[in-house]
Amino acid sequence: MAETDKKPFKERMSAVVGKFAGSRFVRAIMDAGYSVISFSIIGAVFLILTVLPQAFPVPGFASFYANTIGRFSNLFQAVYNATMGILALVFSGTFAYSYTKIYRDEEHLNLVPMNGLMMFLMAFFITVPELIWKNGAVQFVQLFTKDKVISSGYEISGGSIYRIGAVGIFIGLVVAWITVQIYRYTVKHNWQIKMPASVPAGVANSFSALIPGFCVAVVIAALNMAFVFAGTDLFKVLFIPFSFISDIADTWWGFLIIIFLIHFLWWFGIHGATIMSSFYTPIVLANMAANVKGADHFFAGDPLNAFVIIGGSGATLGVAIWLAFRSRSTQLKELGKVEIVPAIFNINEPLLFGLPIVYNVNLLIPFICAPLASGIVGYIAVSTHLVPKIIVQQPWPTPVGLSGFIATASWQGTVLSVICAIVAFVVWHPFIKHYDNVLLKKEQATAAQAK
């Protein structure tokens, strides 16, 4: 039997998942995810300014708003469109830049990350206009109806181009991946125009990207044209699997599976949130943008940090507070004092590795079941419209209560966030209390032996 087969299951699984988490694609995805945080926060601020009357349904406030800052609501919308309305460009463009940079550094290729980004933008915009084969020629789609406006192939939705918004993130990722792979292939096979060393770097880089860029344009245009002949286009074809996965993730059972996998991986010491978010980030961003325009998705923005994993993975805010003020074990009390402040901002590595939760069979059940319980409560409250839908992606360290308010722009979100934290602790309480008693007895036994 091979030596690898003799290793425990948890070690083999950790190796496989760890390898995936460290892959070039996932690392570039994570860089892309970080890049949209500032854009989403800026967009969220101006979006909240446009929905203040809904957030504060106080008598007379709507009239006051309309006569004051409400006069600038179209300007606020313009800023929102300039952030959330171009998310596909920001997210997928950062992915292309980071992916190119990773290949450059790890394969020691003469790749220029900025060239990778520019080639992606060119390739992506080839897929943006809707084309049709009609009367023996390629033509731009023209459509003007009550529900949809497409002018010269470009669909306008909410004041911005539809396909470059959050809905285009998944398609953008595919195009970015193809772009970088073509760029990498052409450079590895020396399909470049090389300039003399005396030529300035900027000029040399522009010429070095000429042949790779031409190859990218030909490949993407040819792929798109093949689908146009079939009565569709590349964007629509790639949108099919994205829609399918998005629909599954937005169901209650799909949402709970995501929560389970995050915590199952974390128990093995693998950053489950990083792994899973690389899959669902395009979905929640697209759903959040759709919610702003009238859709009704629960799995949008950042529902996990708003209503599920309050205090960090495992929903451990209540645990940190209990350890600091109610535990009797010296070890747990000191740990609680260290963790209570980070927990307020959804940081709980001290508990994950100091309690510990990782590889601790005694705490596996509450670690998985507590966030599942808070997730169920959050899903029911939002899906039954007791709490408004999520329209803003709040920063993940936002404290309990405030996170729910920002996510839903409502006081109901604040209440739900607090209730979810309480529900999670109710699940945790008997387990952490038992664990505290076990450690207390060990400490007392150790102290008795020392005498």
Is 14 a member of any domain? no
Residue 200 shares a structural domain with residue 295: no
Q: Which of 229, 245, 261 is the last residue of a domain?
A: 245
Short-list 183, 185, 198, 268, CA closest to 12? 268
C-alpha angle with apex 236: 230 to 240, nearest 5 degrees? 110
Is 55 a member of any domain? no
Q: pLDDT category, 13, cuts 50, 70, 90?
A: low
Is 122 a member of any domain? yes
pLDDT for position 205 = 66
pLDDT for position 95 = 94
Section 234-238 average pLDDT: 91
Tens of pLDDT, residue by residue over 21-77, are: 678 988 898 888 878 877 877 887 888 888 788 767 778 888 888 888 889 988 988
Is residue 304 a contact partner of residue 400, using CB atoms and an 8 Å limit? no
Short-list 53, 48, 46, CA closest to 390? 48
Tens of pLDDT, residue by residue over 396-428, are: 889 999 999 999 988 999 999 999 999 999 999
pLDDT for position 269 = 74
Name the 3-class secondary structure at 97.
helix
Residue 273 shares a structural domain with residue 374: yes
Residue 30 CB coordination number (10 Å): 18
Tens of pLDDT, residue by residue over 254-291, are: 999 999 999 998 887 777 787 788 788 888 988 998 88
pLDDT for position 271 = 75
Residue 134 shares a structural domain with residue 224: yes
Structure tokens at 177: 């991946």
Measured CA to CA, the distance from residue 295 to residue 286 in angstroms comes to 11
Measured CA to CA, the distance from residue 117 to residue 254 in angstroms comes to 34
Residue 419 shares a structural domain with residue 278: yes
Flag whether pLDDT at 7 surpasses 80: no
Structure tokens at 349: 């590595």
Is 58 a member of any domain? no
pLDDT for position 397 = 87
Section 144-149 average pLDDT: 82
Tens of pLDDT, residue by residue over 91-113, are: 999 999 999 999 999 999 989 99
Domain count, the chain: 2
pLDDT for position 447 = 80
Flag whether pLDDT at 434 surpasses 90: yes
Structure tokens at 95: 């992915």
Residue 229 shares a structural domain with residue 318: no
Q: Is the dihedral of CA 393, 394, 396, 402 positive or negative?
A: negative
Q: Which of 211, 245, 279 is the last residue of a domain?
A: 245
Lowest mean pLDDT among 49-53, 296-300, 336-340, 359-363: 49-53
Place of tokens 């980004």: 117
Is 128 a member of any domain? yes
Residue 445 shares a structural domain with residue 313: yes
Tens of pLDDT, residue by residue over 148-203, are: 888 989 988 767 888 998 888 889 999 999 999 999 999 998 887 776 666 666 66
Section 306-332 average pLDDT: 94
Residue 199 shares a structural domain with residue 346: no
Crossing angle (nearest 10°) for helices 201-208 and 210-229: 30
Is 4 a member of any domain? no
Is 69 a member of any domain? no
Domain of residue 158, residue span:
90-245
Residue 213 shares a structural domain with residue 288: no
For all residues of the chain together, what is the average pLDDT? Answer: 88
Residue 216 shares a structural domain with residue 335: no
pLDDT for position 193 = 76
Q: Residues near 90 by Cβ (< 8 Å), separated by ≥ 6?
A: 35, 36, 39
Q: Which of 225, 245, 265 is the last residue of a domain?
A: 245
Flag whether pLDDT at 15 surpasses 90: no
DSSP 156: E
pLDDT for position 1 = 44
Is 11 a member of any domain? no
Residue 309 shares a structural domain with residue 435: yes
Query: 330 or 269: whose pLDDT is higher?
Result: 330
Residue 147 shares a structural domain with residue 259: no
Residue 271 shares a structural domain with residue 420: yes
Short-list 316, 304, 399, 397, CA closest to 353? 316
